[in-house]
Amino acid sequence: MNEALPAVRKRKRRNPILPYLLILPTFVFVAMFTAWPTLLAFYQSFFRQRLNIAKFREPTFIGLGNYTALFSDERFLLVLKNTLIYVLVTAPISIVLGFLFALLINRAIKGIGLARLAFFQPTILPMVSAATIWMFFFTPDYGLWNTFLQHFGYSGPQNWTANPNLALIAIMIVAIWKNAGYYMIFYLAGLQSLPTDVYEAATLDGANWWQMLWQITFPLLRRTTLFVSTIAFIGAFQMVDHIFVLTKGGPSRASTVLLYYLWQMRFENQDVGKASAITIILIIFLLIFTVTNFVLSERKEEESHA
Amino acid sequence: MPDAVSPRGFWGKLGYWAVLLFTGLLALLWAVPVLWAFVASTRPPSEPLGRGDVWFGSTITLVNYTTAMSLAPFKLYYINTIIIVLMILGVQMITITLAGFAFAHYKFMGKQLLLFFILLQLMIPTTALLAPNFSTIRALGLFDTRLAIAIPYFGSAFGTFLMRQAFLEVPRDLVDAGIIDGCNWWQLLRHIYLPPSKSMLVAFGLSSVVWHWNEFLWPLVVTNSDKSRPLTAGLVRFTQLGEIGAQWSLLTAATLLVVAPLFIIFLIFQRQFIQSFVHSGLK
């Protein structure tokens, strides 16, 4: 019977059409809503087309016109700057907080479940609900946010979502509050899978807690960190729902990020050409972050094998 | 990893309790926005929060919830959200199981290429493609329908990938035994591949439900009326109604209405939820 196995494996694991039929539904939906729109956006980004202006309603080929117009537009450069600040600040802070939370609640005592619940619950909320709650939280005068800050001696402006210097920060605070607990659960799972004997050996060698944290825990959680940072950075580019509730990108674009600007360009300005160009720029940003993370993980993998 | 301080000796005990206290305070800080919203939503309309105590009112009332329900068609929004979420879940369960099975079990020409093509969806998220996808929805005549909100998610690269990984974990001997017993592909999938992979399917399903329950931008773009609008888009419309203004007790009540069903299910199945999110790594 054992001799028959290889033959069985070969024969039964091949089928001329069935695997294609099984993949077909997924293939069709990915083709329709990922591959095709990417190509369409790329194509349309070379045309001028504005749906709300009669003479520009039909697409006209303008080469790189949309791209050069965008990159010579101060508003767009501001949006790019906001986006980079937003992504490069919210993602790392959320990850560090997530790691801290995981360290704090990784212990078996009564009531720790409540702390885990408190840190994790924002993940379950829709971003628009979180934003509505924070809008209330940020209210000048009696909003709890300002009251809280005043206890620590804050005397700055109160209207966080309407202040040009604070609006982007307000948006980032909500994003961090919402996501830290999400990254926490990956670190918690990572911490709980660590081998205990390494720590016992380190304790015998007289290592203190900090040394163990930096020299054992951190290196062992490298994969978790890479995974979490990939989803954190990619996610940050896409997280704009709260902007619709809190600031609408304002005041004077101070809190507008790329995806929000893309929405405005397409659905408020009805500018199909520029919206397509922004789509392509956004995709390029996402690819840069994905590929960088991938390369980093591969390189570190080699180092650890060497 | 062991704790920073062991609860031994006077200083050890002190440090231990200090860390616990810090954890508690941080947790409280994180919970305050939602707790405050809940308190505000039970405040009678005659005692606006702008004047007087923000934490304690004279009495607790549910009238804000009924008022919110009467000012916007939240019942319809609920139905829409539930239909959309279940529609996506149902189709995804089928598509990812079939595709995952094909990639895990069969050898065929162009397998790597097809897998790469599908995984494109991970690199180019659907959210970024809202402008061209809007044109597709228009061209298909689906604008302002629940199907328009659901259809871009019917195929899932992540789900396909997860199911493929789960199926690859199934021992080969078990599969071969099934083949020798004369199972056809459906029986192999149903009786050999699926049973040990169920937890992965549930994990993906739970996070899919949460993610699509909470989605806002795409539904905002492809809906135009209450007949297809989900809770998230309905809530944002509600907050912008002229007569609502800064009636916080009403706004927080509406917000919590949107959150409640998912939140209650989450409280009951907390452990499974967190497990699922870890497994699927996807919101």
Contact at CB, B128 and A199, closer than 8 angstroms: no
Nearest to B121 among A18, A34, A124 (CB): A34
Q: What is the mean pLDDT of residues B140-157?
A: 95
B95, A29 in Cβ contact below 8 A?
Answer: yes
Chain B, residues 33-62, CB within 8 A of chain A, namely: 33-34, 36-37, 40, 49-50, 54
> Which residues of A are less than 8 Å from B103 in CB distance?
23
pLDDT by residue (tens digit) across B89-113? 999 999 999 999 999 999 999 999 9
Q: Which of A18, A33, A152, A280 to mutate to test the interface with B (most CBs of B within 10 A)?
A: A33
**Which amino acid is located at B156 in the chain?**
S
Tokens, residue A11: 């024969």
**Separation CA A238–CA A282 (nearest Å):** 10
Q: Flag whether pLDDT at B183 surpasses 80.
A: yes
**Separation CA B127–CA A37 (nearest Å):** 11
**Separation CA A35–CA A40 (nearest Å):** 9
The pLDDT assigned to B282 comes to 46
Q: What is the CA radius of gyration of chain B?
A: 24
**Which amino acid is located at B125 in the chain?**
P
A82, A168 in Cβ contact below 8 A?
Answer: yes
| Residue corresponding to tokens 């003479």 | A55
Pick the CATH number of B68-280 from 1.10.4080.10, 1.20.120.1690, 3.10.20.310, 1.10.3720.10: 1.10.3720.10
**Separation CA B206–CA A82 (nearest Å):** 33
Count Cα atoms within 13 angstroms, Cβ side, for A114. 12
Contact at CB, B107 and A13, closer than 8 angstroms: yes
More confident residue, B58 or A154: A154
DSSP chain B: ---SS-S-HHHHHHHHHHHHHHHHHHHHHHHHHHHHHHHHHTS-TTS-TTSS-SS--SS---HHHHHHHHHS-HHHHHHHHHHHHHHHHHHHHHHHHHHHHHHHH-B-TTHHHHHHHHHHHHHS-GGGGHHHHHHHHHHTT-TTSHHHHHGGGSS-HHHHHHHHHHHHTS-HHHHHHHHHTT--HHHIIIIIIHHHHHHHHHHHHHHHHHHHHH--HHHHHH--STTT--HHHHHHHHHT-TTTTT-HHHHHHHHHHHHHHHHHHHHHTHHHHHHHHHHH---
The pLDDT assigned to A72 comes to 96
How far, in Å, are A106, B123, B214, B235 from residue B205 at the CA level? 27, 21, 14, 25
The pLDDT assigned to A223 comes to 83
Q: What is the pLDDT along chain A (306 residues), one digit of tens a residue?
A: 454 555 555 556 888 899 999 999 999 999 999 999 999 999 999 999 998 888 888 898 999 999 999 999 999 999 999 999 999 999 999 999 999 999 998 887 888 889 999 999 999 899 999 999 998 888 877 777 887 888 888 877 878 888 888 999 999 999 999 999 999 988 988 888 888 888 888 888 888 888 888 888 888 888 888 889 888 999 999 999 999 999 998 798 999 999 999 999 999 999 999 999 999 999 999 999 888 887 877 776 565 554
Q: What is the mean pLDDT of residues B232-256?
A: 83
Which positions ≥6 away from A138 have C-beta within 8 Å?
A: A145, A146, A159, A160, A161, A170, A246
Residues β-bridged to residue A61 = A47
A136, A143 in Cβ contact below 8 A?
Answer: yes
| Residue corresponding to tokens 């005659």 | B46
Contact at CB, A286 and B259, closer than 8 angstroms: no
At residue B213 the predicted structure's pLDDT band, cuts being 50, 70 and 90, is very high
A124, A135 in Cβ contact below 8 A?
Answer: no
A88, A289 in Cβ contact below 8 A?
Answer: no
Q: What is the ipTM of this complex?
A: 0.88
The pLDDT assigned to A288 comes to 92
Whole-model pTM: value is: 0.90
At residue B243 the predicted structure's pLDDT band, cuts being 50, 70 and 90, is low
- Percent of chain B scored above 90 by pLDDT? 52
Nearest to B31 among A13, A27, A121 (CB): A121
Q: Which of A47, A34, A122, A1 is nearest to B129 (CA)?
A: A34
- As a CATH number, domain A65-305 is 1.10.3720.10
Q: DSSP secondary-structure letter at A267?
A: I
Tokens, residue A85: 């600040």
Quickly count: other Cβ atoms within 10 Å of residue A206's Cβ. 7
**Separation CA B27–CA A113 (nearest Å):** 11
**Cα dihedral sign for B49, B55, B59, B60?**
positive
SS3 content of chain A, % helix, strand, coil (to 5): 75, 0, 25
Nearest-CA distance B257 → chain A (Å): 10
> Which residues of A are less than 8 Å from B262 in CB distance?
124
Tell me which range, A145-149, B46-50, B77-81, B169-173, is most confidently predicted by mean pLDDT.
B77-81
**Separation CA B52–CA A158 (nearest Å):** 19
The pLDDT assigned to B53 comes to 65
* Domain residue ranges of chain A, discontinuous segments joined by +: 2-44, 65-305
At residue B40 the predicted structure's pLDDT band, cuts being 50, 70 and 90, is confident
B85 touches A: beta carbon within 8 Å: no
Q: Flag whether pLDDT at B152 surpasses 70.
A: yes
Q: Where in chain B is the domain with CATH 1.10.3720.10?
A: 68-280
The pLDDT assigned to A7 comes to 57
Contact at CB, A34 and B132, closer than 8 angstroms: no
**Separation CA A256–CA A76 (nearest Å):** 9
The pLDDT assigned to A1 comes to 45
